[in-house]
Structure 1
């Protein structure tokens, strides 16, 4: 009876070892070959490293685009506050198309000229704009506006009293003279 139990135990271990890809604890152990895998362990082959001839492009490869697509958002400005409690939004796309939403009014749309888009991009890419604090540092102005400017996944929040020159430059380059503040 003991012999039957040991046989079952070794069979279970052998099955487990085969499923996991290891060796069994029943029977003599075979030491691994120097520099190689243990016996019974399979090693996947190295992936092929084929390289395309120089000058030939892989038609299936898609390189990440450095240039944004025309429909991608360049900058979004949301304005909250004021005496009327507005919540307005202006979205400008890389191609210069824009949409402005103010309260319950129908959205307004337009198109900036290439020169206007270039000026807006220059203002947003200015290192001085990158140094504008992300959160207001001073006291809020009663019934003032808060401006939420999102550019390349960076959010800058500013109040009426906190508009450094770099942020003013961005506002001046926005369509229709800046962030929408009318209700």
Structure 2
């Protein structure tokens, strides 16, 4: 009777001990897994540096197609130039004249360097050049805020057999006619080469 009690007690103690071992292993397994993952550093992607190599943490510098920074526009003296500057052969202003008793169809084209071309109908073009002072006077008249307020279309009563003028400056077109010239427009006409718009046949 005593031997049976001892045997049953030993079995109970062994089962309890085995249960504790399993519980401890279940608790330790996630801890070991997390600790193992934390010991490995995740590699960071390389970053391009200014000299074209990889590595470091500096921000990449924008480069052109050849791997170098895009050049800054400079003049022959080495000073930085502006994109809004006009070339000497760019067109400053064009004036088209049509109508009149002879029914002319003429055009005057003035460039920023003062050179100009006059075309009368189908005849050969005539070339000329304004002085720097004359170009400055013309540009001042065109850049006058009063000229920017000149109506784009004539509003007065048309003159019989009069001329029609189409002036193009800085992508703005102004159409005028004889008898409908504002003081700002007349100032531009007075500054044109050869005494004004080309009205001769």
After TM superposition, the score normalised by the length of structure 2 is 0.61
- Residue 181 of structure 1 corresponds to which residue in structure 2? 199
Deviation, 1:99, is 0.1
1:34-183 equivalences under 5 Å are: 49-50=60-61, 58-62=69-73, 65-183=83-201
Q: Deviations over 1:83-120 (max 9, x none)?
A: 11101000000000000001122111011010000000
Question: What's the RMSD between the two structures over aligned residues?
Answer: 2.0
- Structure 1: which 5+ residue stretches go unaligned? 1-47, 53-57
SS of alignment partner, residue 96 of structure 2: strand
Aligned length: 132
Instruction: Identify, as 1 or 2, the structure richer in helix.
Output: 2
Q: Deviations over 1:7-46 (max 9, x none)?
A: xxxxxxxxxxxxxxxxxxxxxxxxxxxxxxxxxxxxxxxx
After TM superposition, the score normalised by the length of structure 1 is 0.67
SS of alignment partner, residue 139 of structure 1: coil
Higher relative contact order (CA 8 A, sep 6+): 1
Q: C-alpha separation between the residues in 2 aligned to 1:108 and 1:173? A: 18
Q: C-alpha separation between the residues in 1 aligned to 2:137 and 2:170? A: 17
Q: C-alpha separation between the residues in 1 aligned to 2:83 and 2:173? A: 23
Q: C-alpha separation between the residues in 1 aligned to 2:148 and 2:139? A: 13
Deviation, 1:64, is 5.6
